[in-house]
Amino acid sequence: MDFGYVRVSTKEQNPDRQIKIMQEMGIEERNIYVEKKSGHNFNRETYDMLVNHIMRPGDRLTVTELKRFGRNYAEIYREWHHITKELQMDIRVADMKILDTSLNKDLLGQVITDVVLALLSYVAEGDWEERHELQKQGIAVAKEAGRYLGRPRIEYPENWEDCYSRWKAGVITAKEAMTLLGLKKDSFYRLVKKYEGGH
């Protein structure tokens, strides 16, 4: 039986494209399992349920691209071996015809699959690490330029001086000052600390 595994990294990403490809390959919708989780390791509930509890020897697992299967080179290799050798099931990568273990049952086919898999897994992991390194560098550059969009910087409200001095003089309570300023408690006290520390 053919099963499809669809994965996107975040809840905002749309899995419809992958699902459509699976259906065009003849996989029934009820046999397509969708997961919204990072692919950097195999600690994924839906994936584990499908491979280790639903699928049986002789079944075939399809993913649209190798990166949907995973991004960690060593883990992909181990998982591939676990599925094809230990569980006696097949794997098919839709955009790489050579990566279909159901078609390459002879020794040469297995060797070719292993070599291609090793190469592609290495590239997938390198791509993941490169993007994260670029992201880190981008954040560092943005911080240096004062543009990093972490927690937004809170500016002093227009009526800050008036409310602050009345609060300090005991004319109004801190809660009243927060209401007048339109600030939450943590924001109010952060500004007080900044203000009293020399603006």
Reported as a single tens digit per residue, the pLDDT across 105-115 is 766 667 777 77
DSSP label at 31? G
| Per-residue pLDDT at 136 | 67
Whether this model's pTM surpasses 0.75: no
Q: What is the mean pLDDT of residues 10-25?
A: 90
